[in-house]
Structure 1
């Protein structure tokens, strides 16, 4: 089972799918489920090899992740869908949105929104990940711990999951036409892993409705300000005017 749906909300008007950072698990979003407005139902992705799927083989490739996530979504009651990804999870979120668009019966339409945080745009992210894959264990562990947040406790098990996640994008994310969905980018103003230029370059993925928001903090800028960030996230979602009742759900 790829998805964790801790607080089902049948009356919610939108579902928020969350993808964790490299080496992370669905637990990163556990507290969000009860902090978001009642109009939003949270579903988080639990990749194999971590969290309550520890011991399972890691995903062999991005297609495995897409199939698992999309199959899980298709089994849930139909709702408009926004997709959020943090750090490397942002690249997975982009691929999920592209696949949602491809599978959708609504020609050219994607999900209600793509929401990403603490991740350079795909081209810059590919360069960064190439360098990380070339690091020895001590070097990579130092980089992971340098990001702060839950990553400071990273050990060998987390490092193995990080390497597995980096391997998913050995060939980058590929090219695709821009999405027809709103795109919101968030980052901490003290995060050295991103820059204003590499964040602004996300605009290429959805030039029609793009917004970049810088917030106080580092790579895990929301860890100490969770309610405030979720209020901002919920406000951004609530302002979306393109949500339709069948948008973004593969059938």
Structure 2
């Protein structure tokens, strides 16, 4: 099964944008992006194993292994300039994928880290060790589309294993300081995100030798859902791609 979902193939596009979902998320989270982003950008979204149309594939519980699998699957798609966008857990994975590809000679043009504490400043409570009800309460508290699934008992039974797996993966992740990233990096946050504030997000600057910027949007941890148009406009501005046909 392919690792990427591309809603609109654009052989003419000058740039590819690879999007990595949050813990418990799937490629459907970014489904609307292809329609709204510039025609000059081709969007590819990672579909983690063990969910959605990859429900039959075994879960991956190690961040290093998942990074290597994603980077390997990306290799044939790095024949054009490309950028990475990751939200929450996806931001940390996108950072590790960027470092690995950089080491292999396929350096991204930009990394966007959204709604995430920087990899060297994680900490916090282990949610993966909580019982089902407590874990569900945490997920519902963060909001987003996953919260709706948790209110349906049948869906909850289906999605909880991979949500727990993803939290275990990111909570057992350990940052290694080398190799240093040289890629331009932008950190996005919601101004009411209980998970990461602007000051903490600013520490992403410590992880790259490239230029750094931060942008704050109105909203909570899943600010990028209601603020999608503003987020995409900022991505296109940063990447200097035309917005029209």
Q: Do the aligned partners of residues 29 and 201 (structure 1) sit closer, same or farther apart at CA in structure 2, a change above 3 Å counting?
A: same
Say if 1:168 and 1:82 are closer, same or farther in 2 by CA, change over 3 A.
same
Deviation at 1:77, TM superposition (A): 6.5
Q: Is the 8 Å Cα contact of residues 188 and 221 (structure 1) preserved in structure 2? A: yes
Residues 1:134 and 2:136 are matched in the alignment? no
CA RMSD in angstroms, aligned pairs only: 1.8
- Match in the other structure for 1:214: 216
Aligned to 1:199: 201
Deviations 1:78-116 (A, max 9, x none): 1111011001111100110111012117xxxx3111101
Q: Relative to 1, partners in 2 of residues 1:175 and 1:225: Cα closer, same or farther, differing over 3 Å?
A: same
State whether residues 62 and 173 of structure 2, in contact with CA within 8 Å, keep that contact through their aligned partners in structure 1: no
Q: Is the 8 A contact 1:120 1:194 kept in 2?
A: yes
Distance (Å, rounded) in 2 between the aligned partners of 1:228 and 1:39: 18
Alpha-carbon separation, structure 2, partners of 1:5 and 1:178: 30
1:212 is displaced (CA, Å) by: 0.9
* Structure 2: gaps of 5 or more residues: 151-155
**Change in CA separation of 1:123 and 1:141 when aligned onto 2, cut-off 3 Å:** farther
2:230 pairs, out of 207, 228, 231, with 228
1:106-117 matches, cutoff 5 A: 110-117=107-114
Query: Hey, what's the Cα distance between the residues in 1 that align with 2:234 and 2:206?
Result: 23
Partner residue, 1:245: none
Residue of structure 2 in register with 1:143 after alignment: 138
Query: 1:248 is matched with which residue?
Result: none
The equivalent residue for 2:36 is 35
Query: Which consecutive unaligned segments of at least 5 residues does structure 1 have?
Result: 240-251
Aligned twin of 2:68: 67
Q: 1:156 & 1:172 partners in 2: Cα distance?
A: 29
- Could you tell me which of 164, 171, 175 is aligned with 1:173? 175
Asked if 2 retains the 8 angstrom alpha-carbon contact of 1:22 and 1:89, the reply is yes
Q: Distance in 2 between matches of 1:218 and 1:77?
A: 33
Cα 1:119/1:60, change in 2 over 3 Å? closer
Residue deviations 1:153-208 (CA, integer Å, cap 9, x gap): 23233322122122323142322243111000101101111122221111111143
TM-score (norm: length of structure 2): 0.88
- Contact 1:91–1:173 (CA under 8 A) maintained in structure 2: no
Poorly superposed stretches of 4+, deviation over 4 Å: none
Residues in 1 aligned to 2:136 and 2:195: alpha-carbon distance in whole angstroms: 15
Say if 1:178 and 1:204, in contact at 8 Å, map to a contact too: no
Instruction: Kindly indicate whether residue 162 of structure 2 is the aligned counterpart of residue 161 of structure 1.
Output: yes
Structure number with greater CO (CA < 8 Å, separation at least 6) is: 1
> If the length of structure 1 is used for normalisation, what is the TM-score?
0.86
